[in-house]
Amino acid sequence: MRKKTVVITGGAGFIGSHLCDKLLGEGFRVISLDNFITGSIKNIRHLLREKDFIFKKHNVSGYIKIKGKVDYVLHFASLASPVDYLRSPIPTLKVGSLGTHNALGLAKEKKAVFLLASTSEVYGDPLVHPQPEEYWGNVNPIGIRGCYDESKRFAEAITMAYHRTHRMDTRIVRIFNTYGPRMRVKDGRVVPNFIYQALNDEPLTVYGKGLQTRSFCYISDLIEGIYRLMLSRNIFYPLNLGNPGEFTIIELAKLILKIVPTESRIILKPLPEDDPKQRRPDIGKAKKMLKWRPHVELREGLAKTIDWFKRPAALY
């Protein structure tokens, strides 16, 4: 029997590489595309000798050509960290627009299921809490974060246009804050920032008073949700995946200081422009439609992530 083939754009990234692991373990043939703007060969080196794994270095903002049958196209290529998209706003907009268009084109050509990795950032600085999928968001399209927020909002719009116009089988996952092994030390997001600072006895930089909230989902929980969504039927509209447990940033900092033996202390810095004050997913639909919910508690997930960051191989 022919193994089903999955193309994963951004397959050498944090989430993409974990998806490669999951799908190979479930018996799929995996083709990973990445240009290493934010991904790393280290994330997939352990897969390069697998007979069902193919890696192609490619920028998906250009045309995507894959030979043979493709059953699923998972579009995870993106510059998702503020450090990255603030430094490279145009490539961020391109991969969200041109990259999504090209990935949809591949799925359309191959008559494959298409799954878009969207983000909780489409909700902006939300005026509704927690955020259900029906909420349209409160986004500044011309602010410094607009390059990422709007690229994902456009990606959702073009995905739905392809679904409606070409009757394509599509999925959209709105991913909330996710953390775990393979995040980059200099990622710029709060969990790797705090862990790196604590491990190196540096001050933990908290913005504002640290009262803004986030919900943190461990990578294995997210991957299971994405896998179930990929295999689902008739879920065409966006679906939230994340952990509804809500913590202030100051609570996160204090928890990491409890886990890591360190001389670090907390310092406060001015709040960045357009930084969301609250972020928590309503996962009622995922629970009902996918029979999914997260299982890894924050302290447990942080301990696993800290152990990974202690490895010399993590420091890149």
User: Beta partners for 34?
Assistant: 57
pLDDT value for 5? 98
CA–CA distance, 262 with 196 (Å, rounded to integer): 11
Within a domain: 78: yes
CA–CA distance, 74 with 14 (Å, rounded to integer): 14
pLDDT band at 16 (very low <50, low <70, confident <90, very high): very high
| pTM attached to this predicted model | 0.95
CA–CA distance, 177 with 76 (Å, rounded to integer): 15
Decide the pairing of beta strands 213-215 and 246-248: antiparallel
Within a domain: 212: no
Residue 314 has pLDDT above 60, yes or no: no
pLDDT value for 271? 81
Within a domain: 268: no
Per-residue pLDDT tens digits for 197-206: 999 999 999 9
Within a domain: 250: no
Per-residue pLDDT tens digits for 43-76: 999 999 999 999 999 999 999 999 999 999 999 9
Domain carrying residue 44 = 5-178+218-243+281-295
The total number of structural domains that make up the chain:
1
Judge whether 148 counts as a catalytic residue: yes
Residue 125 has pLDDT above 50, yes or no: yes
Residue 316 has pLDDT above 60, yes or no: no
- Other C-beta atoms closer than 10 Å to the C-beta of 125 total 18
Q: What is the CATH number of the domain that holds 104?
A: 3.40.50.720
Token pair belonging to 237: 């509209």
User: Beta partners for 113?
Assistant: 72
Within a domain: 136: yes
pLDDT value for 97? 98
Within a domain: 57: yes
Residue 35 has pLDDT above 80, yes or no: yes
Within a domain: 308: no
Give the mean pLDDT of the chain: 95
Residue 306 has pLDDT above 90, yes or no: yes
pLDDT value for 278? 86
Identify the active-site residue in 72, 148, 162, 179. Answer: 148
| Percent of the chain's residues with pLDDT above 90 | 90
Per-residue pLDDT tens digits for 177-189: 999 999 998 888 9
Residue 147 has pLDDT above 50, yes or no: yes
Per-residue pLDDT tens digits for 267-295: 998 887 767 788 899 999 999 999 999 99
Within a domain: 195: no
Residue 2 has pLDDT above 70, yes or no: yes
pLDDT value for 92? 97
CA–CA distance, 47 with 18 (Å, rounded to integer): 11
pLDDT band at 99 (very low <50, low <70, confident <90, very high): very high
